[in-house]
Structure 1
Amino acid sequence: MITPHSYVLISCKGAADSRLNAFDAALHSAGIADFNFITVSSILPKGCKKTTMDAIKGIERGSFMYCVMSKASSNMKGETISSAIACARTKETVGVVTESSGSFSSRESEERAREMCKEMLSIRNATPSSIDTTSAEMLVEQGWGCCISLCLLLY
């Protein structure tokens, strides 16, 4: 089994003429476009620590990168889109990661993700010792817009 020892939170946004290229532009703006992302569900092992983007500098481009991903895309001019990730850690048990995205502000997206973390921990009879969030928001002006929030899991 592989178990992550740390995680990085990052959000980004991009625009292009196609949905795929807006997604790629967003990843490129964050400096992470050259990884192959494998999305996983929402559990952080006990003791998994938050770290910075410096932790991924040595990872070879083209490598697989496990993550929890939140993504919003739209081509509706004038629409506000957002994405958010929340990571809640506990002292008692595993932590949880939740995602929220849609046609609303990043503040609302973060609040939705935080509330989902609290509910998931409640089911586990645990309380959060910390909840970290990241979010992106953009107004679609032309073509496609894409907001992405990620919890990158490092091994």
Structure 2
Amino acid sequence: MFVPTKCFFTKGVGVHKDKLASFELALRQAGIEKYNLVYVSSIFPPNCRLIDREDGLRELHPGSIVYVVMARSETNEPNRLISAAIGHAMPKESNEYGYLSEHHAYGETSEISGEYAEDLAATMLATTLGIEFDPDRAWQEREQIYKASGKIIYTTHNCQAAEGDMDGKWTTVISAAVFV
């Protein structure tokens, strides 16, 4: 079985009169349009490490089957705010798995959407590690509890937001974790 050892984050925006072409342009901006993308769920493999987008893209070849966790949002409503975010949470032990989360939203800024996705990933990881927390507390409070436990070492997010095109063309945003 294939278990990725590297991963990178990327994002993009596309605007076009056709919905599919808008998605294609977002993929192009993200640099992943020339691959056959296979959507996978939210597990960040043990011993997998994050690398820079440029380094990751150099390892891929046009036409390759590439596994991604992707968030996508689209609109053709002028000025409608859309966002797509990937959250990431890593355990302290590199031989344990972490989590990725996808979040697609309307009316959320990049900061709000990104923090929500990060919170989702960290909360999923915290529950598997047996970290006790109050789910009704604010993300910033829970983040401190998660990190103070000594079991979660790293959380982050990657988010793309945009406003719908003024002329009603399709606007698509994507955010992706790409496995290599």
TM-score in same-fold range (> 0.5): yes
- Structure 1 distance, partners of 2:126, 2:158, is 22
Paired amino acid for 1:35: Y
Which residue, out of 155, 158, 170, partners 1:131? 155
- Structure 1 distance, partners of 2:98, 2:59, is 26
Runs of 4+ deviating beyond 4 Å? none
1:149 aligns with 2:175: yes
Note the C-alpha offset of 1:33: 0.9
- Structure 1 distance, partners of 2:164, 2:109, is 13
**Which position in structure 1 is the counterpart of 2:2?**
2
- Structure 2 distance, partners of 1:105, 1:128, is 26
Contact 2:45/2:97, CA 8 A, preserved across alignment = yes
SS of equivalent to 1:3: coil
**Which position in structure 2 is the counterpart of 1:94?**
97
In proportion to residue count, which structure has more strand?
A: 1
Note the C-alpha offset of 1:58: 3.7
**Which position in structure 1 is the counterpart of 2:35?**
35
What are the equivalent positions in structure 2 for 1:1-155 lying under 5 Å apart?
A: 1-53=1-53, 54-92=55-93, 93-103=96-106, 104-125=108-129, 127-141=151-165, 142-154=168-180
Note the C-alpha offset of 1:117: 1.2
SS of equivalent to 2:72: strand
SS of equivalent to 2:99: strand
Note the C-alpha offset of 1:133: 1.3
Say which is worse superposed, 118-127 or 24-33, in terms of deviation: 118-127
- Structure 2 distance, partners of 1:28, 1:98, is 22
Note the C-alpha offset of 1:47: 1.6
Aligned residues: 154
Note the C-alpha offset of 1:56: 2.1
Paired amino acid for 1:152: V
Query: TM-score when scaled to structure 2?
Result: 0.81
SS of equivalent to 2:152: coil
- Structure 1 distance, partners of 2:179, 2:76, is 30
**Consecutive unaligned residues in structure 1, runs of 5 or more:** none
Contact 2:115/2:157, CA 8 A, preserved across alignment = no
Note the C-alpha offset of 1:115: 1.2
SS of equivalent to 2:115: helix
Contact 2:31/2:57, CA 8 A, preserved across alignment = no
Note the C-alpha offset of 1:59: 1.9
Paired amino acid for 1:106: S
